């Protein structure tokens, strides 16, 4: 059993720092990614923290966007706050700094990491960055993490196209919105979530996860076609295969337990956009949380 669980949100997320007692006092206490999972783990008696993240980096005081928050109890320095639209390795440096801060200020000597979406990649980069200098990482759980590319990244990179949507209206809508969103917001993240980029990045991470059990959870609500396999089925942003890390080499991922939620979407943002209950999101469903519990042995 580790000292604490740290929740790490993903690309374009805004998340306040929270500890077991303190969170944002208005809105969703841990942001629209991690609030439900944090509440679940706290109810099970887990000592849980959320890593602060902000679009563009900097201190996290509020999120004025959709299902945001305000009145943050503790605002941490920018250097330990993840830039949620920045480069993976830069996010890893910030997250490693945050974990070292937990060791120094909260007495945390060992942690389990739970990463949503790019938060799984940020977590992997942080594990590499920490080395032997910081809390020991016991386990890693990923929810909809693009281990092997994403819908957005592969579309922007030209590996998938409108033709690969096979006329599926939802997938075409996602494609239509992907490019302008990335152009307006990305500071490196969109360029680093393609299969082409991540396969090279993965190779460079060989050995980082040695001795760390991984649980990889994928969703696949959108299933209008079967080909190409790197796209179908997908959760709105990440294919089921990529979320499960199906094609990641054993040298990179030596110990992994894979889980599928074929009727789930990436987040409550996608659930809301497509008229689904929030519980159909990987970040909000008690059935997903039960898998997380099993992985963390809580």
- CATH number of the domain to which 118 belongs: 3.40.50.1820
Give 8's strand partners: 115
Give, in order, the Cα–Cα distances in Å from 210 to each of 71, 125, 147, 213, 253: 40, 14, 16, 8, 8
- Contacting residues for 158 by C-beta, under 8 A, at least 6 apart: none
Spatial separation of the C-alpha atoms in residues 165 and 226, rounded to whole Å: 10
Q: What is the pLDDT of residue 1?
A: 79
* Edge-to-edge strand ranges of the sheet holding 256-261: 48-50, 4-8, 110-116, 136-143, 214-219, 256-261
Spatial separation of the C-alpha atoms in residues 106 and 158, rounded to whole Å: 45
Tell me, what DSSP letter sits at residue 240? H
Residue 292 lies in a domain: yes
Strand 69-70 to strand 26-27: parallel, antiparallel, or no bridges (unpaired)?
A: antiparallel
Residue 196 lies in a domain: no
- Total domains in the chain come to 1
Q: What is the pLDDT of residue 49?
A: 98
Residue 94 lies in a domain: yes
Residue 181 lies in a domain: no
Q: How many CB atoms neighbour CB 276 within 10 A?
A: 16
**Widest distance between CA atoms in the chain:** 53
Expressed as residue numbers, the domain containing 219 is: 4-147+206-296
Residue 176 lies in a domain: no
Residue 186 lies in a domain: no
From the number of C-beta atoms within 10 Å of its C-beta (0-12, 13-18, 19+), residue 166 rates as middle
Residue found under tokens 């590319």? 149
One digit per residue, pLDDT tens: the chain, 298 residues? Answer: 799 999 999 999 999 999 999 999 999 999 999 999 999 999 999 999 999 999 999 999 999 999 999 999 999 999 999 999 999 999 999 999 999 999 999 999 999 999 999 999 999 999 999 998 999 999 999 999 999 999 999 999 999 999 999 999 999 999 999 999 999 999 999 999 999 999 999 999 999 999 999 999 999 999 999 999 999 999 999 999 999 999 999 999 999 999 999 999 999 999 999 999 999 999 999 999 999 999 999 9
- For the entire predicted model, the pTM comes to 0.98
Strand 256-261 to strand 214-219: parallel, antiparallel, or no bridges (unpaired)?
A: parallel
Tell me, what DSSP letter sits at residue 217? E
- Contacting residues for 192 by C-beta, under 8 A, at least 6 apart: 87, 88, 121, 153, 198, 201
Residue 190 lies in a domain: no
């Amino acid at each position: 059993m580790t000292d604490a669980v740290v929740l790490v949100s993903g690309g374009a997320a805004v998340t306040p720092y929270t500890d077991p007692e303190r969170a944002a006092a208005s809105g969703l206490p841990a942001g629209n990614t991690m609030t439900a999972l944090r509440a679940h783990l706290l109810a099970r008696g887990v000592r849980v923290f959320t890593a602060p993240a902000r679009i563009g980096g900097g201190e996290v005081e509020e999120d004025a966007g959709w299902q945001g928050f305000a009145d943050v109890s503790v605002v941490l320095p920018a250097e330990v706050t993840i830039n949620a639209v920045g480069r993976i390795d830069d996010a890893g440096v910030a997250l490693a700094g945050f974990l070292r801060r937990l060791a120094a200020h909260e007495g945390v000597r060992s942690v389990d990491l739970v990463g949503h979406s790019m938060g799984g990649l940020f977590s992997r980069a942080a594990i590499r960055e920490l080395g032997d200098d910081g809390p020991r990482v016991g386990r890693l759980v990923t929810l909809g993490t693009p281990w092997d590319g994403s819908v957005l990244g592969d579309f922007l990179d030209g590996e998938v196209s409108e033709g690969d949507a096979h006329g599926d209206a939802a997938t075409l809508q996602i494609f239509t919105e992907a490019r302008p969103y990335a152009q307006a917001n990305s500071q490196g993240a969109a360029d680093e979530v393609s299969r082409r980029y991540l396969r090279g990045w993965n190779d460079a991470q060989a050995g980082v996860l040695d001795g760390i059990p991984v649980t990889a959870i994928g969703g696949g609500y959108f299933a209008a076609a079967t080909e190409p396999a790197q796209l179908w089925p997908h959760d709105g942003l990440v294919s089921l295969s990529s979320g499960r890390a199906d094609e990641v080499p054993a040298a990179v991922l030596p110990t992994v337990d894979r889980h599928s939620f074929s009727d789930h979407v990436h987040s409550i943002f996608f659930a809301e956009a497509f008229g689904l209950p929030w519980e159909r999101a990987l970040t909000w469903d008690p059935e997903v949380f039960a898998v997380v519990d099993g992985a963390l042995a809580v």
